[in-house]
Amino acid sequence: MRLFLSISAVLLGLGFLSLGQVVINEVGWAGTAASGYDEWIELYNNSPAEVDLTGWRLILGQREIPLSGSIPPWGFFLLERTDDTTISDVQADLIYKGALPNTGIVLQLVDPAGVVVDTANGGAKEGWFAGDVGTAASMERISPELPDSPVAWRTGTKGNAHDAKGREVYGTPGAENAARSLLLPLECSVPSSPFSGTVELSWEFTGDVEGIEVKIFVKTGTFWELVAGDLPPTGTYALDTMGFPNGKILIALGAFDASGPRGGVVVEGEIAN
Ligand SMILES: [Ca+2]
Ligand SMILES: [Ca+2]
């Protein structure tokens, strides 16, 4: 049996992972040009219904931030660290305390029932999946439907917002991510789980695929591991599952240009060899 999807399709239960209503959409972990301490975080409501954030929490490593207020349908929620001048020309929805160290941490978004509905930077081996200290660039999710993984985040570019000293922010605090406009349509097929022996993945990225390299990552334990790179925009790959332990496996496949991913998919399955 083969499964097909486009990147916007929601096919829960078929192995292709998708996300809930509210996601961690952008992480300004490097601060701004004005100050490395001027960090910020953006949430996004990827649904047609307003979401009341009462009882929700955002966990930054060891620190827990209680959320309040609400996010409008298809709207953004901007958290600024310490004060509202971090992003000087966008009003914060919440001011928080706590650091996002350059060495990387995992962010978790928890709903009132205690369910972790999203993460950011989960399983990163070191540092952050994207973002840059030199330009104080953010880590932008390329699609609110793509689960946290090495194929889900791209480094922010110079946008319209300004920092505490009036300089342009590398990122899009409180506004649609620039990375989202770069998304390439994808068709992907994966055998149905459980997996055994060799699993054949096939994919086709369309659109402006000049310079695109496909990479495949696998997560069976704590960290994502790169298992293949330098693959063409349309291709197949035989993943040998014999080298992995039996149990849960996540497979992430992404189309990368020189600056980061421009589309991808995350598949969840079970290895039973
Ligand atoms: Ca502000
Ligand atoms: Ca944004």
In the reported structure, the alpha carbon of residue 42 is separated from the centroid of ligand 2 by a whole-number distance in angstroms of: 6
For residue 271, the tally of other CB atoms under 10 A from its CB is 20
C-alpha to C-alpha distance for 258 and 40, rounded to whole angstroms: 26
In the reported structure, the alpha carbon of residue 273 is separated from the centroid of ligand 2 by a whole-number distance in angstroms of: 42
Helix (H, G, I), strand (E, B) or coil at 103: coil
C-alpha to C-alpha distance for 149 and 251, rounded to whole angstroms: 9
Q: Which residue has the tokens 């990368």?
A: 256
- For position 5, what pLDDT does the model report? 44
Residue 11 phi/psi, 5° resolution?
A: -125, 60
- For position 15, what pLDDT does the model report? 66
- For position 20, what pLDDT does the model report? 72
In the reported structure, the alpha carbon of residue 189 is separated from the centroid of ligand 1 by a whole-number distance in angstroms of: 43
Q: Which residue has the tokens 């958290």?
A: 79
- For position 1, what pLDDT does the model report? 36
Neighbours of ion ligand 1 (CB under 5 A): 84, 87, 92
* Domain spanning 22-181, CATH architecture: Sandwich (2.60)
Give start-end residues of each CATH 2.60.40.10 domain in the chain.
Answer: 182-271
Kindly identify the ligand whose nearest atom is closest to the C-alpha of 82.
Answer: 1
Q: Find residue 76's DSSP bridge partners.
A: 44
Kindly identify the ligand whose nearest atom is closest to the C-alpha of 164.
Answer: 1
* Domain spanning 182-271, CATH architecture: Sandwich (2.60)
Give start-end residues of each CATH 2.60.40.1260 domain in the chain.
Answer: 22-181
C-alpha to C-alpha distance for 30 and 127, rounded to whole angstroms: 11
In the reported structure, the alpha carbon of residue 96 is separated from the centroid of ligand 1 by a whole-number distance in angstroms of: 12
pTM value is 0.93
- For position 19, what pLDDT does the model report? 72
Interior angle at CA 206, CA 8 and CA 226, nearest 5: 80
- Which regions in the chain score pLDDT beneath 70? 1-15, 18
In tens, the pLDDT along 42-81 reads 999 999 999 999 999 999 988 999 999 999 999 999 999 9
Q: Which residue has the tokens 């192995």?
A: 15
